[in-house]
Amino acid sequence: MSNSSTSDLLKPFKLKTKQQELLIRVSILCLVYILAFITRLFSVLRYESMIHEFDPYFNYRTTLYLTQHGFYDFWNWFDYESWYPLGRIVGGTLYPGLMVTAALIYRLLHFLRFAVHIREVCVLTAPFFASNTTLVAYFFGKEIWDSGAGLVAAILIAVCPGYISRSVAGSYDNEGVAIFALLFTFYLFVKAVNTGSLAWGLASAFGYFYMVSAWGGYVFIINLIPLYVLVLLITGRYSMRLYVAYNCMYILGMLLAMQIRFVGFQHVQSGEHMAAMGVFFLMQVFYFLDWVKHMLSDTKLFQEFLRITVTCAVAVGGIALGVGMASGYISPWTGRFYSLLDPTYAKDHIPIIASVSEHQPTAWSSFMFDFHILLFLFPAGLYFCFKRLSDATIFIVMYGLTSMYFAGVMVRLILVATPAVCLISAIAVSATVKNLTVLLRSKNKVAQIGSSKGTSSAKASSKASLDQSQPFQKNGAMALLFGAFYLLSRYATHCTWVTSEAYSSPSIVLAARGAHGNRVIFDDYREAYFWLWQNTPPDAKVMSWWDYGYQITAMGNRTVIVDNNTWNNTHIATVGRAMSSYEDEAYEIIRSLDVDYVLVVFGGVTGYSSDDINKFLWMVRIGGGVFPVIKEPDYLVNGEYRVDKGAAPKMLNCLMYKLSYYRFGEMMTEYGKPPGYDRARGVEIGNKDIKLEHLEEAFTTSNWIVRIYKVKPPNNRW
């Protein structure tokens, strides 16, 4: 400013730097966008373009229905092929966001004359949204820190295994879209709080609506945001901006969320949503008090008024809640919510939740596996956030801390924590690298323009003087910078390795290494479902454990008794009881459910460990939870679960054991082992002479992974 000629000279150059910076930023973002997409394509390259796992098959089936029959039929769809004979109102019991999104993309592509199959759209929806998430992460990072942190956050989240685990190509599940919606809603809300703009508040309400339509995890948003607002109120950061942002987001978001049939009136009737409502009323009280304070000049009088008002407000709120709870208008917290707050709750009360492996408490190793260096950068980032406390950083700190707690409670919630961890770590990385580069560059600058600095930057001068006191500063900074880059490159390597090794398996097609290091593919599931589709009558009912329900209806197109939408515990318990009873008793249950085929998954030949025998104790527990005739100790020997000669007699003769090991006793599975050697359990089975009376083997896949039995009609002459 002092020297106008130099500034005039530098002006075009300066502009150019900004343009360059913009160019670099945009190109980095583009590359990250592409990287996030292609790193999720391992599974397509390794296997094929197919839907993975269990739930995605239901989503795929419903999306197919949506594209074929239109939205209204989808909305009113009563599916009588699942939960026989109860049926399921699909339109009213799902979050339609994912299906509608995929169908819209499909329509758009067809409008643009790309004749793609809906399956391809479904397979690539999750990677596409992961790419979009990186953009949101960039803007979010920019909002809470600076654009550098935003860029780092975008890169970190693009490859973070915690997120990739749920968003690889083919993982067509709600979470794939929902994490985008979650982060987007948070971003818009923080933006609204920062600007106090009604428009951003409205945008965040719509973001929330999309999240509600996509995933049940929206409960996290509707509890975290009030908590955040409450913290701001308590710390004296109440502002008009906050008032506008929260009220707009809450009221509109609530009204919009009610349009989702599955959610309905929960926002005003369920205990899980009451915190948001309480904070909403608290905001009004604050606003009112502010106004009164403005009107009253006497501070003492105001203090008195404040006390009375707050007491009354709290009392009225408490009474309203109490009356609501007592009259049953407000439903109490659900078991799922309890199990989040108290990790031991599900184990004792809801075996059906505890039986799912992704609902188990997280092991340290999986944190390390999913976050790698982010685990160490996270506390550092928290430190930086606390150092520069603002409304935005308070939000990200709260998001990070609460989601980390939930990630510790349930494995699958690592997913929710991932964006927060990435953002906070990005702050740490960005701030550190920036400080270090500033150190490196400031020294040069000091050397160059030491005389001309004048009054422009007192800070730089103080730093420069500090620098001179430490002679190895530059080298140290260099070393630290290299260290940081080394760590980040390790992170990139780790992420790629994890993605390719652990998270790109479709789990419907299994791969193993053969004796000569070659890859062996077990495609037994699809073989079995194809068999069902081709060889059974169209109205045949198939009984299996609920894990396989969605796949049977989607791929085999046959009616199932129970499926992965575990809405009716009694029905599942009935199936569990049938599986854990003797054949005669099971036959009665099977007949009463009009079952034609029974399907079991067996890994004894291939050594596939997540088969029905290993899940069997859960069937016993869930069955026993409703029908006390099934007792867990009957299946154990001294508290030990075994299938060999020392197994409990009931275990050796229950239906599941018989169906799994039928004809297995005569089979040689491994060289040097006796016939009937179970490779998944590593033991020789205890009951090799299995006779079936009411069922007969109908089909066993080539590797024995899926075994299908036909239920015989009752004896003709008896």
Partner 1 sequence: MGKFWVIFVASISILLPFLCNSFSPETPTDRRVLVLLDDFAVKSSHSSYFNSLKLLGFDLDFKLADDPKIALQRYGQYLYDALILFCPSAERFGGSVDVAAIINFVDSGHDLIIAADVNASDLIREVATECGVDFDEDPSAMVIDHTGYAVSETEGDHTLIASDDFIKSDVIIGSKKIEAPVLFQGIGHSLNPVNSLVLKVLSASPSAYSANPLSKLSTPPSLTGSAISLVSVVQARNNARILITGSLSMFSNRFFRSGVQKSGSSTKYEKSGNEQFLTELSKWIFHERGHLKAVNVKHHKVGETDEPALYRINDELEYLVEIYEWSGTSWEPYVTDDVQVQFYMMSPYVLKTLSNDKKGLYSVSFRVPDVYGVFQFKVEYQKLGYTSLSLSKQIPVRPYRHNEYERFIPTAYPYYGAAFSTVRLLHSPFKLLLYDPDSKNKWQDSSSFLLFIYITSKVWHV
Residues near partner 1 (CB under 8 A): 72, 75-76, 78, 80, 84-87, 89, 539, 559, 592, 713-718
85 vs 547, 571, 578, 589, CA distance in Å? Answer: 18, 10, 16, 13
Which element (helix H / strand E) includes 522? strand 519-522
Q: Which of 40, 29, 41, 211 is nearest to 135 (CA)?
A: 29
**Which amino acid, 532?**
L
575 vs 189, 546, 557, CA distance in Å? Answer: 46, 9, 20
Identify which of residues 348 and 539 has a Cβ nearer to partner 1 in the complex. 539
Identify which of residues 261 and 443 has a Cβ nearer to partner 1 in the complex. 261
Q: For the chain, give me the number of helices (H) and strands (E)?
A: 31, 11
State in angstroms the smallest separation of the CB of 159 from partner 1.
43
Which element (helix H / strand E) includes 427? helix 414-449
- Is residue 78 exposed (0-12), middle (13-18) or buried (19+ Cβ within 10 Å)? exposed
Q: Quick one: how far is CA 579 from the chain centroid? A: 31
State in angstroms the smallest separation of the CB of 100 from partner 1.
16
Identify which of residues 514 and 714 has a Cβ nearer to partner 1 in the complex. 714
Identify which of residues 37 and 84 has a Cβ nearer to partner 1 in the complex. 84
Identify which of residues 85 and 674 has a Cβ nearer to partner 1 in the complex. 85
Identify which of residues 42 and 77 has a Cβ nearer to partner 1 in the complex. 77
CB 619 within 8 A of CB 653: no
Rounded CA-CA distance 249/205 in Å is 5
Identify which of residues 639 and 714 has a Cβ nearer to partner 1 in the complex. 714
State in angstroms the smallest separation of the CB of 545 from partner 1.
20
Identify which of residues 84 and 180 has a Cβ nearer to partner 1 in the complex. 84
State in angstroms the smallest separation of the CB of 76 from partner 1.
4
State in angstroms the smallest separation of the CB of 596 from partner 1.
12
State in angstroms the smallest separation of the CB of 614 from partner 1.
31
Which residues, other chains included, contact 408 with Cβ-Cβ below 8 Å and sequence gap of 6+?
343, 361, 362
Identify which of residues 560 and 579 has a Cβ nearer to partner 1 in the complex. 560
Identify which of residues 78 and 482 has a Cβ nearer to partner 1 in the complex. 78
Identify which of residues 300 and 717 has a Cβ nearer to partner 1 in the complex. 717
State in angstroms the smallest separation of the CB of 285 from partner 1.
22
Q: How many CA atoms lie within 13 A of 327 on its CB side?
A: 9
Task: Compute φ and ψ for 167, nearest 5 degrees.
Answer: -135, 25
SS3 609: coil
Rounded CA-CA distance 18/1 in Å is 19
CB 191 within 8 A of CB 204: yes
Rounded CA-CA distance 615/352 in Å is 12
Identify which of residues 87 and 318 has a Cβ nearer to partner 1 in the complex. 87
296 vs 299, 446, 468, CA distance in Å? Answer: 7, 56, 57
State in angstroms the smallest separation of the CB of 717 from partner 1.
5
CB 222 within 8 A of CB 431: no
State in angstroms the smallest separation of the CB of 89 from partner 1.
6
State in angstroms the smallest separation of the CB of 87 from partner 1.
5
Write down the residue that tokens 């992965």 correspond to. Answer: 564
State in angstroms the smallest separation of the CB of 528 from partner 1.
24
Describe the crossing of helices 473-501 and 414-449 by its angle, rounded to 10 degrees: 150
The residues that bridge with 88 in the sheet, in sequence order, are 79
State in angstroms the smallest separation of the CB of 282 from partner 1.
24
Identify which of residues 307 and 591 has a Cβ nearer to partner 1 in the complex. 591
Task: Record the tokens describing residue 166, joined without a space.
Answer: 């749920």
State in angstroms the smallest separation of the CB of 587 from partner 1.
15
130 vs 28, 170, 505, CA distance in Å? Answer: 16, 13, 18
Q: For 39-81, where are the alpha helices, taking DSSP H only?
A: 42-46, 55-69, 71-75
Describe the crossing of helices 569-580 and 612-626 by its angle, rounded to 10 degrees: 120
State in angstroms the smallest separation of the CB of 503 from partner 1.
38
Identify which of residues 192 and 561 has a Cβ nearer to partner 1 in the complex. 561
Which residues, other chains included, contact 347 with Cβ-Cβ below 8 Å and sequence gap of 6+?
354
Rounded CA-CA distance 233/210 in Å is 28
Judging by DSSP bridges, how do beta strands 559-560 and 541-543 pair with one another? parallel
Tell me which DSSP letter residue 713 carries.
P
